[in-house]
Amino acid sequence: MNVVVVGADITLELASTGEPIQNRVSDLSGTYVFENLAFGEYRVVVDIPNIPQFSTHYINVNSIDSVLNNINFFVDTITDFGIFADTILLSTNKIESNQLIIWPNPVQNQLYVEVSNQETNSFTVEIINSLGSTCVMKDFNEKNNSKSSLKLNTKTLSNGIYFIKVTIGNSIYLKKFVKE
């Protein structure tokens, strides 16, 4: 089930000072647009009453990257209760682009997940729906293996947007995928 947040206050701030530059309210499709921005580094802040924001997107507008799409957030009202930027690392470690790989996307019956795990031999994989509910959760303990390939059954999931959440030690990695 896809649920969007209508009427969320979304503010674009200068990353260096926190000064608000533009403010928008998400529309009926959960969409918001910031236009006519000067080159610079910004952060996107989402305000939904009584729900804290735990992570955000930082964007850099320049002559090469002047149009940015799909700067998405998901709202978890079940487990961690907060607003999270999707596809970012929630710990202070830097995510590598090959740390978490998923395919195919969109998925129908089987989602393949590849996890590069240098920190520890154990990790947890969760599939989270757009409401923040955990649909699938599995713990893995790989013996002396720095890369793990997994196959997750997605046949019983309803069509919609989901997040794969991989927890390795104190690091959390998120990727968005679509179930068709």
Phi and psi torsions of 178, nearest 5° = -115, 135
Identify the bridge partners of residue 20 per DSSP, sorted by sequence position. 13
Distance in angstroms between the alpha carbons of the first and the last residue of the chain: 12
Per-residue pLDDT tens for 25-63? 888 777 788 888 888 888 888 887 777 777 777 888 877
CATH class of 100-179: mainly beta
Distance CA 139, CA 128 (A): 15
Per-residue pLDDT tens for 123-146? 889 898 877 788 999 988 865 566
Average pLDDT, the chain: 76
Query: pLDDT above 70 covers what percent of the chain?
Result: 68
Strands 57-61, 73-76: parallel, antiparallel or unpaired by DSSP?
Answer: unpaired
- pLDDT for the residue 69: 60
Residues of the chain within CATH 2.60.40.1930 domain(s) are 100-179
